[in-house]
Chain A
Amino acid sequence: MALLVVFTAAIALFAVLIVLFLHLVVRKWRENRRQARLRVYKERHRLWLLRYLLGEEEQMLLPASPLEREAMMELLDHFASLLNGEQVQERIRTLAEMHFQGWLHRRLSSRHWSERMNALFLIEDLQVKAMLPEMERLYRSNRVTKGEAAKLLAIFAQFDYSPVVAYVLEPKYKLTEFSYRVIFGHMSERLLRQVEQRFDELPRAGKCAFIDMIGIRRRGERSFLLELLTSDELELRVRALKAMAEIGVSIEATKLDCHLRSPHWQERLMAVRLAGKCREERLLPLLYERLADRSFAVRSEAAASIVRLPGGRAMLHKAACTAEDRYARDMAKQWIGEEG
């Protein structure tokens, strides 16, 4: 009896698998054929589309079937990442808005998460600003997922869409620091200034990412950063020092001293890095002390900073021979070797 039941189950399962297998083989055959046709279409129209985008061709060929539309979109997407220049990008955008809006609209309202995401990627690549109202609707809807929300905000930032400022201050889902960085990375100066005015309202991850972005984009925000150095929060001070080091904001030795002696190695590390950018000889003795720091990362960074300062190499040569601390000697030796 048991044998019969199990045997029947196995046969049934086997049959189901065979049917699925046949289905997938047929699907693969059709898909391979479709891909081949896509390739042919793309090959045939690539040059012509390129000439159109470069303004050498006025006549636009319209895609006649879904397959042709897909091929055209893939080509456009390819060119959008390849060709710079405002005029070309404008032509790509106009083309996309004219011919693909309906399709994008359908994809954005698809019940498949991956299809909605792909539509968002395409909107981003082709800069289809006309889709903003649709995206706004998606963002406000209940079914929007965390991944989509982050992507939408990044696109809003790229399209210089003002409501994004309010959205990042009070996001629908908790955003990670990484997401904030991507969003701020896309924002125009205008939007960034608006965020800066409401900096205190940002969640912690947002604050950190915002300060990082000042460094990455080398924005001249000296007074804003200097003010952050007085913050009670360690993480904000560390980020501010890091951003200043990246931009190369110079700061007097007396002001940097307390950060160089901080009980937290992360703060000392960033202060040491900043000292290397200040090109001030008065910082050398302070950095020399850090060559024997408890933390390996700080010692290493201190040596790197000393090399950059005037008179630094001579000091490292001296340290390599005479420093009392063995760690300091080793580190100095490595850096002389690397520089030489």
Chain B
Amino acid sequence: MVEGGQAFLSAIGHVVLIYMAVVLAFYTFLFVVAFIHLRRTRRLDDWEPYEELLDASYAKPISILVPAYNEEAGIVGSVRSLLAIEYPEYEVIVINDGSTDKTLKRLIDHFHLKPVYRVIRRQLAAKEIKVVYQSPDYPHLFVLDKENGGKADALNAGINAARYPYICSIDGDSVLERRAFLKVMKPMLESDGEVIASGGTVRIANGCRIERGEIVKVGLSRRPLVIMQTIEYLRAFLLGRLGLSRHNLLLIVSGAFGVFFKPWVIEAGGYTDTAGEDMELVVRLHRLAREKNEEKKIIYIPDPVCWTEAPETYGDLRRQRRRWHRGLLESLWMHRSMLFNPKYGSIGLLSLPYFWFIELLGPIVELMGYIVVVFSLFLGNLYVEFALLLLTVSFLYGSLLSATAVLLEEWTERKFPSISDLVKLFFFALTETFWYRPLTAWWRCEGVIDAVRRKKQWGSIKRKGVSV
């Protein structure tokens, strides 16, 4: 009996080991791709390439959609920051998704909103819009007050009301750089319609100094939990997304910041009610392009252009990770027929397998790894060596890769001005394997369990409001 158990443990341990080695190799490949791209552009002037787009005759107008559900703390600040962005022509559409707090009242009071009559074209199914408000002070600010229907429903209502050919969805708790749209729209405009969606890097706002909806000084939070998330974002965006974007394999245009070409979004059916509606939409866009046999691209730019408030407590972070992972599983499950389907080209053969086997299964395998390590240490003798081996590979896979991402950031973007921030980031990254990764792996596994049980809710975290 005991022997059988040990053999089982050893088998699992080997599976974990092989898995981690394969993943490590894949990440190394992505790292090299990101490295080559960043090496080319790292000395490029930060602003000059975008100057031309300020001329209204080149830039195409954008409708910015801000779905809001009980966001009274931060909503005015984020709308104000949106009204100050540098872009020739845009409208801001806030969709109040039946909030039960004072979100709508705050908006009406602050922007002196007045009800207006506006014909809404129902191109996508969405819950009824009760009133459309417009601000006399900012004629390009609209607020839709609608019945509660979830985030995807709110976004679809916003798309129906949008007048412009490009749409962008922004979470109520994000702060954009003033030039964010110029940067993200550039590849779309330059490609003459070949690029149908474009995302920008998202960074964590906690610890930065924000005044009147603008990042004034980039800084690092003092809370270890937030520092770890900062590192995680660096790693995900610099290593993962940039690498995937170079080969048009990108599946996520972050929910926090992405611009889409509206006709394609409508044709793809808009957002659907899943926990990860942004990713699901991107999968459908890829799918549509392949089915129509059109060469369309979804890309990602490495410039940090959007700052978002990260959860600061274990409880909030846990809720967020559960929701994210549930969303990932739901989207992948919805499009399972694309997996290994040659009809969908590299998306079906490379990108989706990556998301299934690395992003989705990753935490489960990691968790198994940690369990094996703990058991092996108890069993002693031969198994201690194996546990150490597993731990070392985990260290390479978690801590060292993250530390590499921190260094890559410092080598290229250099967004953190102080040396102490760099030192903190580097050393915290090295601790990742020993506490942060097991924690998040467990939470993400919980997300899988949730998906199986099909829990549905907006899953909001406690906001302090990012703007002061």
Contacts and interface: CB of A to CB of B under 8 A. Distances in A.
A179 interface: yes
A21 to B, nearest CB: 5
Nearest to B55: A185
Interface residues of A, number: 43
B404 interface: yes
Interface string A1-45: 011001101100110010011001100110110000000000000
A89 interface: no
A13 B392 CA distance: 12
B32 interface: no
A32 B191 contact: no
Q: Say whether chain B's binding surface is mostly helix, strand, loop, or mixed.
A: helix
Contacts of A25: 419, 422-423
B40 A121 contact: no
B303 to A, nearest CB: 14
Given A3-B385, A20-B407, A178 B189 contact: yes
A179 B190 CA distance: 7
B119 to A, nearest CB: 5
Interface of A: 2-3, 6-7, 9-10, 13-14, 17, 20-21, 24-25, 28-29, 31-32, 112-115, 117-118, 121, 125, 176-179, 181-182, 185, 205, 212, 216, 296, 300, 330-331, 333-334, 337-338
B456 interface: no
B116 A118 contact: no
* A117, A178, A181 interface centre (most CB from chain B within 10 Å): A178
Nearest to B386: A3
B389 A2 contact: yes
A21 B393 CA distance: 21
A24 B192 contact: no
A29 B419 contact: yes
Contacts of B400: 10, 13-14, 17
20 contacts: A3-B385, A3-B386, A3-B388, A3-B389, A6-B392, A7-B392, A10-B400, A21-B426, A24-B410, A25-B423, A31-B414, A112-B43, A113-B41, A118-B48, A176-B190, A176-B192, A181-B58, A182-B52, A330-B119, A333-B117
Contacts of B404: 17
Nearest to A179: B190
A177 B189 CA distance: 9
A114 B414 CA distance: 16
B57 A296 contact: no
Interface in B5-55: 40-45, 48-49, 52, 55
Interface string B380-424: 000001101100110110001001100100110010010100110
A107 B266 CA distance: 46
Contacts of A118: 43-45, 48
Nearest to A212: B57
B48 to A, nearest CB: 4
Given A2-B389, A13-B396, A28 B422 contact: yes
Given A28-B419, A118-B43, A334-B118, A6 B55 contact: no
A299 B52 CA distance: 33
Given A6-B392, A28-B414, 18 more contacts: A2-B389, A3-B386, A9-B396, A13-B400, A17-B404, A21-B426, A24-B411, A28-B419, A29-B419, A114-B41, A118-B43, A121-B45, A121-B48, A176-B190, A185-B58, A216-B57, A296-B121, A338-B116
Given A3-B388, A3-B392, A118-B48, A178 B119 contact: no
Q: Say whether chain A's binding surface is mostly helix, strand, loop, or mixed.
A: helix
Nearest to A2: B389
Contacts of B396: 6, 9-10, 13
Contacts of B190: 176, 178-179
A6 B407 contact: no
| 3 nearest CB pairs, A to B | A121-B48, A114-B44, A114-B43
Contacts of A31: 414
Interface string B126-147: 0000000000000000000000
A24 B407 contact: yes
Contacts of A337: 116-117
Contacts of B49: 117, 121
A176 B191 contact: yes
A7 B58 CA distance: 56
Nearest to B117: A337
A92 B407 CA distance: 39
Contacts of B426: 21
Contacts of B117: 333-334, 337
* B41, B52, B400 interface centre (most CB from chain A within 10 Å): B52
Nearest to A113: B40
A338 to B, nearest CB: 7
Contacts of A114: 40-44
Contacts of B42: 114
Interface string B194-219: 00000000000000000000000000
A334 B389 contact: no
A23 to B, nearest CB: 9
B124 to A, nearest CB: 13
Interface string B315-330: 0000000000000000
A21 B407 CA distance: 7
A182 B44 CA distance: 20
A29 to B, nearest CB: 6
Nearest to B118: A334
A101 to B, nearest CB: 19
Contacts of A9: 396
Interface in B89-135: 116-119, 121
Nearest to B400: A13
Interface in B42-79: 42-45, 48-49, 52, 55, 57-58
Nearest to B57: A216
B419 A10 contact: no
A205 B395 CA distance: 52
A1 B117 CA distance: 76
A177 to B, nearest CB: 5
B361 to A, nearest CB: 22
Nearest to B190: A178
Nearest to B42: A114
Contacts of A117: 44-45, 49
Contacts of A14: 400
